[in-house]
């Protein structure tokens, strides 16, 4: 007997209200994360695809499985790629004790150590981030901005002319010079020049596939074998890293002895007193500096290369940019161009995964402790539902429109969003302004360069090979 039907009929017959609320939505079905589709490909093939050909791999996976799917690139770790805006938004808004990022940074531990901001979660992360924020904002940002534009003028003028060259190496030199300003300000260590050269050589290890291996976690016996096999570059990397560690330690000692304060990262960290009255350790300071040598340079150098990759296929955009630059009335279009560059070519195509430490429901999926969520900036930015004609370079889409925090994520998002985002935007604007007002840029090859992995970032496969030709300037008319 259907008692609910009888109750409904009786209530309606007597003129009363039905006891069942038929307007309420049907219960939402929640599925376990284990029910999500998995990429049907051998693990090592997935690893190599993400390393060598990330864009076709991601596009095919989404076309086959939708906006949520599992990849099996880490043995025993359920890693779920997500790219729906609402899923990304919920991930960014999740409580700090539910999702962690620190444990997902194992691939870069060999660079950063385990005591910097990248490895911290919850209250430790909040406290450290708040403590070092002054070196990326306020007066420190103004100081860095002056150096960004000075260095852009100086370094772009030194780049090759009238011959093809890979821009990446030169752009990376520039961004590393900027980071030295962020790290040390006016109190440069005595080993600055040597440190710069060693850092640049050490970072070349990022071009090798072996950089993705967590070899630093291997038993001593296997580690020795890794170092003996010289073609993999591991021994050279570790040797250079040891030299840089020694130089950074000496720089910290020099600064401590000088007693000089400052709003640079080292000066700020030397002035920190933790809630328990302790000071950051020497290792903590060194790890924060090493993190910036990696994350603060590779990302922006990649973005500069992608900017040239797109602009050399869009002469109408270049012409409009030059008109705005010649007028000198603002940088509205330049800002839109930079936003579009970072949409179409986000240096970090897959942002740092979040480890689920407490079960959480996102987008109708129940993720369990131990799962990891891997938001895809590439797929998010190439979704026609978010951006019409998503594969087209159209800066106009950002004119008068501020990028949304969950559909434009080149700097990550939530409480772990990149601290150096404003500096990176400055660097892009400064270099593009200097290049386009002083040079005509031609492609060395008409064919677009695909993305290629360089540890934490993706760069144009050939390093953005370009030819720079000097522009003639007519007084009062700008560059012609």
Length of the chain: 480
Output the pLDDT for position 27: 56
pLDDT per residue as tens digits for the range 85-124: 999 999 999 999 999 998 888 888 888 998 999 999 999 9
Output the pLDDT for position 453: 85
Output the pLDDT for position 215: 78
- Average pLDDT of 414-420? 93
CATH T-level assignment (fold) for domain 95-369+391-479: Cytochrome p450 (1.10.630)
> Residue 326 pLDDT more than 50?
yes
> Residue 340 pLDDT more than 90?
yes
In the chain, pLDDT over 70 holds for what percent of residues? Answer: 93
pLDDT per residue as tens digits for the range 3-46: 444 544 444 445 555 444 445 555 578 999 999 999 999 999 99
The β-bridge partners of 376 are 350
> How many Å is the maximal CA-CA distance in the chain?
93
- Average pLDDT of 326-337? 96
> What is the DSSP track for 249-286?
HHHHHHHHHHT---SSHHHHHHT---TTS----HHHHH
- Average pLDDT of 254-278? 94
Output the pLDDT for position 26: 53
> Residue 258 pLDDT more than 70?
yes
Other CB atoms within 10 Å distance of the CB of residue 88? 26
> Residue 78 pLDDT more than 70?
yes
Residue 50's pLDDT band (cuts 50, 70, 90): confident
- For the ranges 158-167, 270-279, 280-289, the lowest mean pLDDT is seen at 270-279
pLDDT per residue as tens digits for the range 148-170: 999 999 999 999 999 999 999 99
200 Cβ contact list (under 8 Å, min separation 6): 172, 173, 176
C-alpha torsion sign, points 309, 312, 313, 318:
positive
Nearest residue to 167 (alpha-carbon basis) of 311, 54, 334: 311
Return d(Cα 227, Cα 243) in angstroms, integer: 16
Q: Are 115 and 287 in contact (CB under 8 A)?
A: yes
Kind plus residue range of the DSSP H or E element containing 457: strand 457-460
- For the ranges 308-312, 344-348, 423-427, the lowest mean pLDDT is seen at 344-348
Structure tokens at 114: 């385990």
Residue 444's pLDDT band (cuts 50, 70, 90): very high
- For the ranges 15-24, 38-47, 49-58, 177-186, the lowest mean pLDDT is seen at 15-24
First CA to last CA across the chain, in angstroms? 87
184 Cβ contact list (under 8 Å, min separation 6): 192, 251, 264, 265, 266
Structure tokens at 58: 């991601």
Output the pLDDT for position 473: 61
| Bigger pLDDT: 208 vs 1 | 208
- For the ranges 115-124, 287-296, 321-330, 447-456, the lowest mean pLDDT is seen at 447-456
Q: Write down the domain spans for the chain.
A: 95-369+391-479
Mean pLDDT of the chain: 91
Q: Are 165 and 464 in contact (CB under 8 A)?
A: no
């Amino acid at each position: 007997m259907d008692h609910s039907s009888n109750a409904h009929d009786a209530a309606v017959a007597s003129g009363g209200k039905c006891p069942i609320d038929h307007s309420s939505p049907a219960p939402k079905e929640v599925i376990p994360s284990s029910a999500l589709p998995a990429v049907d490909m051998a693990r090592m093939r997935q690893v190599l695809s993400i390393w060598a050909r990330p864009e076709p791999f991601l596009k095919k996976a989404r076309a086959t499985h939708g906006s949520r799917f599992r990849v099996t690139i880490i043995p025993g770790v359920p890693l779920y790629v997500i790219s729906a805006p609402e899923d990304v938004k919920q991930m960014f808004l999740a409580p700090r004790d539910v999702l962690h990022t620190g444990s997902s940074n194992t691939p870069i531990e060999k660079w950063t150590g385990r005591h910097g901001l990248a490895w911290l979660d919850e209250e430790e992360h909040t406290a450290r981030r708040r403590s070092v924020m002054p070196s990326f904002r306020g007066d420190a940002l103004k100081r860095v901005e002056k150096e960004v534009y000075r260095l852009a003028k100086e370094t772009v003028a030194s780049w090759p002319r009238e011959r093809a060259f890979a821009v990446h190496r030169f752009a990376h030199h520039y961004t590393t010079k900027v980071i030295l300003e962020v790290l040390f300000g006016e109190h440069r260590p005595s080993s600055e020049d040597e440190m710069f050269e060693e850092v640049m050589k050490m970072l070349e290890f990022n071009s090798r596939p072996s950089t993705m291996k967590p070899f630093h976690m291997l038993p001593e016996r296997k580690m020795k074998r890794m170092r003996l096999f010289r073609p993999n570059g591991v021994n050279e990397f570790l040797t250079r890293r040891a030299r840089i560690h020694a130089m950074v330690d000496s720089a910290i000692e020099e600064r401590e002895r000088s007693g000089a304060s400052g709003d640079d990262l080292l000066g700020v960290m030397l002035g920190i007193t933790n809630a328990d009255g302790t000071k950051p350790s020497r290792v903590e300071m060194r790890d924060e500096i090493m993190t910036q040598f990696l994350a603060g340079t590779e990302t922006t150098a990649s973005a500069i290369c992608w900017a040239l990759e797109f602009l050399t296929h869009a002469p109408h955009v270049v012409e409009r940019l030059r008109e705005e630059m010649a007028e000198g009335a603002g940088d509205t279009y330049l800002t839109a161009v930079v936003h579009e560059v970072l949409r179409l070519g986000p240096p970090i195509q897959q942002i740092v995964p979040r480890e689920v430490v407490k079960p959480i429901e996102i987008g109708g999926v129940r993720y369990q402790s131990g799962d990891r969520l891997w938001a895809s900036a590439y797929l998010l930015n190439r979704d026609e539902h978010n951006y019409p004609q998503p594969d087209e370079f159209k800066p106009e889409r950002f004119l008068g429109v501020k990028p949304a925090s969950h559909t434009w994520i080149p700097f990550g998002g939530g409480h772990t969003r990149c601290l150096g985002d404003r500096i990176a935007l400055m660097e892009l604007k400064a270099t593009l302004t200097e290049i386009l007002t002083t040079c005509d840029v031609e492609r060395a090859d008409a064919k677009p360069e695909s993305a290629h992995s360089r540890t934490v970032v993706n760069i144009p496969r050939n390093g953005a090979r370009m030819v720079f030709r000097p522009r003639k300037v007519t007084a009062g008319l700008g560059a012609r």
